[in-house]
Homo-oligomer: A and B are copies of this chain.
């Protein structure tokens, strides 16, 4: 018995390409770039796989679009903190970097793994796209370290580029691995793992780069500020 012929044309609800990107982000986060299939993304978005090709050129183009949506806000916030006339002590500015990173990347394992994977794979020449996105971010953080050296807060022989690499990468490693590793190796519950890890890490890192390692850190603001007003409401 043949079913009633399915209606072909458009659904009553138009599909916003941003909705597809949301779905892609979610599936990428769960399965990784390579393993995430277009069919899974389409299912998540509630549409046909072919529709994705109407809005995007290819799977890779979706990745590009995801980057374009994700990076500029991060860079914008970082550049505020990195402004040369920011009067706050270097430790606080660096902690602010950690907080910005955290707010934007904590809930998005897809972007984290995509970027890292792309860098690892592209040994020959990391894709220009990624480099164009990452370089300004690195430079913003690095300039805070440079200013810290100039102001006498940080040790004079600090390798500021590597210092940037260490700060940012370990943050992402903590996000990616500690929630799995720490509960298994000790009893720490899932949520505390990342928070604890980041605080211990920042304390260690600061001692490593400060001109006066034994001076106590100033009180650090909470990692994430709850903004209960803004909720994800999607019609």
Q: Residues of A with Cβ closer than 8 Å to B?
A: 32, 34-35, 109, 113, 116, 119-123, 125-126, 131, 135, 138, 159, 161-163, 165-166, 169-170, 173, 176-182, 184-186, 196-197, 200-201, 203-209, 213-214
Q: Residues of B contacting A138 with CB < 8 Å?
A: 185
A204 to B, closest residue via Cβ: B208
Q: Can you name 16 A-B residue pairings with CB atoms under 8 Å?
A: A34-B34, A116-B177, A119-B177, A119-B181, A126-B184, A162-B200, A162-B201, A163-B204, A165-B181, A166-B170, A169-B173, A203-B208, A204-B205, A204-B208, A206-B208, A207-B207
CB–CB A125/B184 < 8 A: yes
CB–CB A135/B165 < 8 A: no
Q: Residues of B contacting A126 with CB < 8 Å?
A: 180-181, 184
Residue from B35, B173, B208 within 8 A of A207 (CB atoms): B208
CB distance from A28 to the nearest CB of B (A): 13
CB distance from A24 to the nearest CB of B (A): 18
CB–CB A180/B122 < 8 A: yes
What's the Cα separation between A229 and B90 when bound, in Å?
51
CB–CB A159/B205 < 8 A: no
Q: Residues of B contacting A173 with CB < 8 Å?
A: 169-170, 173
CB distance from A183 to the nearest CB of B (A): 9
- The 3 A-B residue pairs whose C-beta atoms are closest, nearest first, are A204-B208, A213-B213, A208-B208
Q: Residues of B contacting A120 with CB < 8 Å?
A: 109, 113, 176-177, 180
Q: Residues of B contacting A161 with CB < 8 Å?
A: 182, 185-186
What's the Cα separation between A57 and B198 when bound, in Å?
41
Q: Residues of B contacting A182 with CB < 8 Å?
A: 161
What's the Cα separation between A213 and B197 when bound, in Å?
21
Q: Residues of B contacting A196 with CB < 8 Å?
A: 162
